[in-house]
Amino acid sequence: MRTKNKSGFTVVEAVVIVVLIAVVVAGISMAKKKTATSTDVGSVTTEPTTTPATTEAKKTETKTTTAAKTDKTADWKTFSSNQYGYSVKYPAAWKVEDISKFGIVTFADPTKQADNEKQKQGDGGELVYNIVIVYASSVATESENVSNKWGAKTLAELMAKTDMITPIGDTTLGGQPAKDMIIRGYMPYTIMSIHNGHFYKVATFAAGKNDLSTEVKQILASFTFTK
């Protein structure tokens, strides 16, 4: 016979009820803790601290990186002459020769260097270059003007003295006004300019302006007058 307590439950029933109540209370307590934890985690947001100095530094770094990637001449060499009054950049693999007696500086890529070496060894032929820059103290002292006794004193007069020149139009050299033209011969496309009274001629191996190689265009763009 089962013994009932004053509430009408047997001892076993009373124990079962107590256990069930304990389980329910424990479950509610755990649920509250989980909710509180989730709320705490969700409400915590870490924002990076950004100051004007930091932003400006990042912009500068980005500009520097971009410039380094886009500057194809970053590893080029520079030819500079106080005598001639100009400087110009050129690819590191190219060969430069300064024939100061005639105010001439030649630039040759590896292919033309090899061709020139063969010709120097007796294969014959004319030496070839990608670019030849000629300097004279004035139009009057320019070598062809002197040797042909043209007597030209201005660039316009010099260009009019020979029918080997076909003028193209106006251009720039080192940021200064210049004239470009086609001169019959093995270095057709040519630019001439007068800067502070000095004469400058840049002859290229290209048949025309549209035939200039990327490297030659970059060399011309890097040309800078220094006096």
Rounded Cα distance, 20 and 128, in Å? 103
Residues 139, 145, 147, 148, Cα dihedral to 10°: -160
Rounded Cα distance, 64 and 58, in Å? 10
> How is the chain split into domains, by residue range?
8-41, 73-225
Average pLDDT over residues 206-217: 96
Query: What's the gap between Cα 117 and its chain centre?
Result: 32
What's the topology of domain 73-225?
Answer: Protein Transport Mog1p; Chain A (3.40.1000)
DSSP 182: E
- CA-CA-CA-CA torsion sign (25, 30, 32, 33): positive
Task: Return the pLDDT at 67.
Answer: 54
- Tens of pLDDT, residue by residue over 158-168, are 999 999 999 99
Share of the chain above pLDDT 90, in %: 59
Task: Return the pLDDT at 55.
Answer: 66
- Tens of pLDDT, residue by residue over 168-184, are 999 999 999 999 999 99
Tell me: pLDDT of 3 over 80: no
Task: Return the pLDDT at 155.
Answer: 96
Lowest mean pLDDT among 37-46, 150-159, 185-194: 37-46
Average pLDDT over the chain, rounded to an integer: 82
